[in-house]
Amino acid sequence: MIRLIVSLSALLIAVSTPLADPAQDYADNCQECHGSGRLGSIGPALIPQTLGRMRGPNLISVIRDGREATQMPAFGDLLSDKQIDALSAYLKQPLDDVPPWGTEEIMASRELNPEYRPADEPVWSSDPFNITLVVETGDHHVSVLDGDTFETLDRFPTPFAVHGGPKFSPNGRYVFIMSRDGWVQKYDLYSLQEVGRIRAGLNSRNIAMSHDGNWVAVANYLPNTLTILSTEDLSVAAVQEIKGKDGTPSRISAVYQAPPRESFVLALKDVPEIWEVFYGPNPPHYGFAHDWRIEGPARHTKPFPVRKITTPDYLDDFFFDQSYEYVMGASRSGDGGQVIDLVIGHKIADLDLPGMPHLGSGITWKYGDTTVMATPHLKDGTVSVIDMKTWKTVKQIETLGPGFFMRSHENSPYVWVDVFFGPNKDVMHVIDKGSLEIVKTLRPEEGATVAHVEFTRDGSHALVSIWEDDGAVIVYDADTLKEVRRLPMRKPSGKYNVWNKITFSEGTSH
Ligand code: DHE
């Protein structure tokens, strides 16, 4: 009887409280900043692909309390708990329909900076090849540092949530930066001004710059496309739908440039295939079966011949040898890997790579009479070192937890690797390249996430992020391993030195 009364009163309360209408609540409260269709505007897109990557407080508390140090206000006084719950559930639903995002829509999104004036020469007197960028994810900015004095030359706003390494033009003057919402921003380091930006996809993965500096390829998750932009004016050269040979639509795991092959190489995430998109004047004639052309709009009638290679397993993450003939791929199950020879288009070896290696941040160095490649694992505290002649594991180095990023430099005897996850996220290991032993474990700030390293052009200094809101970039002497400077920054993530990037230093990811 008592249970019946309780149930009846619950029913009465439910009937007397108006039903939450999240679509209407979105239109009334969120759309102005987050765009119609939840696709983003001055605020980020509110779709599962973007929300899934956001760290920090959960969605309900962000809607209720707002987000500190951003323009996101609190809605706790305007919306009831029930409305906020329903709104949060609504935002986590995939879009019913992905709107078309082809050449026309992409071009319509392009914003060229009317105030941009290209300088004839740099407006600063630093070494142009030692300029180092720091991506500050705390408030979505990039700091431009002089790599000798560590003075900040500029600090400019980026699109929301930059991911992956920014890509420099071959002479180091321009940099292209991508956000998870698919924006590609072009910035002129000589003039210290943004040139413009364009939304190449609705949710994107990473970008690659062709070695001749003419094209930027954008790997998209949403829609399932590859966009190729002209670096000159950010206009669209081609948009190609990504479908496997059997017609299955697919996201792109990542795209990279392969300079000696004059191609972009991409792996499909939902189909076991690698694609090679040739941008050079003379694509090789391998007689491959699946070769066709992406025709760009009238302004760029250039064709981009495409070659498709079926692989024995999916490639979620991959890495090239220095000749760009071999692709090392990590398997989706996280318990192994494969080597694909791009010339013959076949797997030639298996890799012993358990623990989900993060090949995207792998690096190489000379080791005895061979070259080794090393990669941290995302699922266990190990760094795998692989001989690139035999493809055998030389050593698995035990670390204090799973790491994300590795870096070294031709002039340094050491490799630096972070511990990104777990109770030891505040340490950075330094490994000797010869003995493959950890020679020092740095703990610069107890309890803070310490991650990602970049070297100066000459390898004399290593820059390490204290990856926190009130964070810093710590400059270490790369030989003595002593701290020499601490530069306050807002949640600094990746750091990128012009010289190391444009020369494809073996100590850095490409
Ligand atoms: Fe990244 C690079 C994939 C999560 C920060 N990350 C890359 C690259 C790939 C990749 C393929 C190389 C692209 C390039 O630079 O052109 N990242 C993935 C994932 O699959 C993963 C695990 C899940 C996801 O899809 O989000 C992932 N990455 C993260 C993060 O959570 C990080 C730590 C914070 C963030 O910004 O989202 C993060 N990834 C980075 C950074 C780089 C990167 C800073 C560039 C490193 C470099 O030195 O070049």
DSSP code of 331? -
Ligand 1 atom at minimal distance to the Cα of residue 208: 16
Q: To which H or E segment does residue 61 belong? A: helix 59-65
Quote the ligand 1 centre to 241 CA distance (angstroms): 23
SS3 58: coil
Instruction: Give yes or no for residue 254 CB within 6 A of ligand 1.
Output: yes
How far CA 26 is from CA of 75, 91, 95, 161, in Å, comes to: 12, 9, 14, 22
Q: What is the pLDDT of residue 322?
A: 84
DSSP string across 5-23: HHHHHHHHHHHHSPPP-HH
Name the closest-CA residue to atom 36, ligand 1. Answer: 163
Quote the ligand 1 centre to 251 CA distance (angstroms): 16
Instruction: Give yes or no for residue 494 CB within 6 A of ligand 1.
Output: yes
Q: What is the pLDDT of residue 18?
A: 57
pLDDT, tens only, 147-198: 999 999 999 999 999 999 999 999 999 999 999 999 999 999 999 999 999 9
Instruction: Give yes or no for residue 164 CB within 6 A of ligand 1.
Output: yes
Structural domain boundaries in the chain: 13-91
Instruction: Give yes or no for residue 404 CB within 6 A of ligand 1.
Output: yes
Distance CA 507, CA 510 (A): 9
Q: What is the pLDDT of residue 342?
A: 93
Percent helix, strand and coil across the chain, each to the nearest 5: 15, 40, 45
Instruction: Give yes or no for residue 360 CB within 6 A of ligand 1.
Output: yes
Ligand 1 atom at minimal distance to the Cα of residue 180: 37
Quote the ligand 1 centre to 55 CA distance (angstroms): 14
Quote the ligand 1 centre to 162 CA distance (angstroms): 9
pLDDT, tens only, 73-121: 999 999 999 999 999 999 999 888 888 999 999 999 999 999 999 999 9
Distance CA 23, CA 49 (A): 19
Name the closest-CA residue to atom 38, ligand 1. Answer: 163
SS3 498: helix
Quote the ligand 1 centre to 164 CA distance (angstroms): 5
Ligand 1 atom at minimal distance to the Cα of residue 253: 11
Instruction: Give yes or no for residue 206 CB within 6 A of ligand 1.
Output: yes
Q: What is the pLDDT of residue 49?
A: 80
What is the value of pTM for the model shown? 0.92
Ligand 1 atom at minimal distance to the Cα of residue 317: 11
Pocket test for ligand 1, best of 163, 168, 489 (most atoms within 8 A of CB): 163
Ligand 1 atom at minimal distance to the Cα of residue 508: 48
Quote the ligand 1 centre to 298 CA distance (angstroms): 34
ipTM: 0.98
Quote the ligand 1 centre to 206 CA distance (angstroms): 8
Q: What is the pLDDT of residue 55?
A: 62
Quote the ligand 1 centre to 163 CA distance (angstroms): 6
Distance CA 226, CA 240 (A): 5
Instruction: Give yes or no for residue 163 CB within 6 A of ligand 1.
Output: yes
Quote the ligand 1 centre to 194 CA distance (angstroms): 23
Residues of the chain where predicted confidence (pLDDT) is lower than 70: 1-19, 53-57, 284-302, 334
Architecture of the domain delimited by 13-91: Orthogonal Bundle (1.10)
Ligand 1 atom at minimal distance to the Cα of residue 55: 31
Instruction: Give yes or no for residue 509 CB within 6 A of ligand 1.
Output: yes
SS3 82: helix
Burial zone of 127 (CB within 10 Å; 0-12 exposed, 13-18 middle, 19+ buried): middle
Quote the ligand 1 centre to 1 CA distance (angstroms): 58
452 phi and psi angles, rounded to 5 deg: 60, 130
Q: What is the pLDDT of residue 85?
A: 92
Quote the ligand 1 centre to 505 CA distance (angstroms): 19
